[in-house]
Chain A
């Protein structure tokens, strides 16, 4: 089970600063279990956003958000609400956020930090989508994770070895930074990449932090 917790509200509101109309997504799987983005948290967030003067165009809690087929079906019934939104706020771990980013041509904001994948990698069979870094960066990378999918974990990529959409390390690996640039170009948000991303806080990540610190 993927273990996540909601980001501080100020951080989420910062992401949404320029957006008035928000579509909200939660998940009945892991996020429900960890009370970061289940039914209850989605209802709460809907209220909070309205209090902050936002319009929530709609919300949905999907059974398994990381299951792309299921989520695609589910989102189809919310076409209008999603179209009316400036962006989508996803209250789940990084895998769920990336599922939505792959399916919707909308800016997707992560509402949670992923603390641990709990030994599983959700429904993405072909590759890890989340490295449990504890400080989700998907807001700045078009909903595609460079920590999990760039060979050098670059926050200011792509490196000089990206050619023809492939990673220099292995021609079978897509260059995730090419994907990030393509997606942000499609969303008209390339300016997001002009900002220098400062060094990451690895102390909250499972790879670098003390063991079993957050699960007790």
Chain B
């Protein structure tokens, strides 16, 4: 084991992993985190805490992670290159490791244009792949990006995101290979609604042997309403929502849609589980954390291994 991460332990023991996601509030209220963490506790092996998702100002991921950890989760600190240069990134890496965090997810970040401060100056000193490499060098070589050495290294499990549905499709597995070469330990994918395309991508990933070197977690998410499905289909960059998904939700009475959304999510979990090389799932039920226990249970993924960090 490279770290004390519960997720690493689960992945190493070849148990199908389950991670969740928690969005911090747009305020200084710690109770929001505690409430969501209590819902997720015991149902996920680790939990992402987003870092200014969609470029909207929210409580810092590391701070929310600290609260989530107090509530018994193994948090995954998300960190984007949008708001920090290599100096700030490394300072935060040292800080989160010192606070007892075990996992970090390296992201380039949603463009500032999408958020509530579109006039902000984007940083992008590094990209996600360079961030992965920098954290790996800090952990395994005890070296800062400049080459200087440190006394105590940050023991973090290094994650990244990958979008099998973005273009150019033929290049996506090659780009994952770059993340693996840079030193990533696990990836979580964009939400899978188009299982066929995901399977096609996984085949390219297997052809490169990447599934044997890292843990690949398929992203899934329940859909609450027909409107939400349509919004994701047309307005969210990098999403692939087939017409059949929208039609399935339209095909049930209005008061049954959210239930159907959960069923659909469970169906997708069962399908991606059958694909060789998928090591787990990442459930993104943002602002619908209550759905997670039900999904995990119905997908036959309960109980989770006892959390050890």
Binding site for B on A (CB under 8 A): 151-165, 168-170, 175, 178, 181-182, 190, 193-200, 202
Contact = CB atoms under 8 A, between A and B. Distances in A.
Chain B interface residue count: which class?
35 or more
B167 A178 contact: yes
Interface stretch (B23-31, B169-177, B283-291): B169-177
A159 B168 contact: no
Given A168-B238, A169-B113, A158 B168 contact: yes
A155 B108 CA distance: 11
Contacts of B134: 199
A175 B171 CA distance: 14
Contacts of A160: 161-163, 166, 190, 237-238
B122 interface: yes
Contacts of B130: 155-156, 196-199
Q: Which of B111, B162, B174 has the most CB of A within 10 A?
A: B111
Main SS of the interface on chain A? loop
Contacts of A164: 167
Contact of A181 (B122, B133, B168): B168
Nearest to A191: B174
Nearest to B177: A194
B127 A156 contact: yes
B142 to A, nearest CB: 18
Nearest to B240: A163
Given A151-B111, A154-B127, 17 more contacts: A151-B122, A152-B81, A152-B124, A152-B127, A156-B128, A158-B175, A160-B162, A160-B166, A160-B238, A163-B165, A163-B166, A169-B111, A169-B114, A181-B168, A182-B168, A198-B133, A202-B125
Most chain A beta-carbon contacts within 10 A, residue among B82, B114, B175: B175
B192 interface: no
A157 B127 contact: yes
17 contacts: A151-B111, A154-B108, A154-B124, A156-B128, A158-B167, A158-B171, A159-B108, A160-B166, A161-B166, A161-B238, A165-B167, A168-B237, A182-B168, A194-B178, A196-B130, A198-B130, A199-B145
B168 A162 contact: yes
A163 B129 contact: no
B178 A163 contact: no
Contacts of B82: 152
Nearest to B122: A152
Interface in B197-244: 237-238
Central interface residue in A152, A157, A193, A195, by most chain B CB within 10 Å: A152
A155 B127 contact: yes
Interface string B123-145: 01111111001100000000001
| Complex A-B, nearest 3 residue pairs according to Cβ-Cβ distance, in ascending order | A160-B163, A168-B237, A161-B237
Nearest to B113: A169
A161 B111 CA distance: 10
B182 interface: yes
Contacts of B86: 199
Contacts of B127: 152-157, 159
B182 to A, nearest CB: 5
A158 B166 contact: yes
A189 to B, nearest CB: 13
Nearest to B109: A152
Nearest to A152: B124
Contacts of A151: 111, 113, 122
Contacts of A155: 127, 130
B293 to A, nearest CB: 29
B166 A194 contact: no
B120 interface: no
Contacts of B81: 152
B181 interface: yes
B206 to A, nearest CB: 17
A14 B138 CA distance: 30
A130 to B, nearest CB: 17
A201 to B, nearest CB: 11
Interface string B146-187: 000000000000000111011110010011011001100000
A157 B134 CA distance: 17
User: For A154, A160, A193, which residue has the most chain B Cβ atoms within 10 angstroms?
Assistant: A160
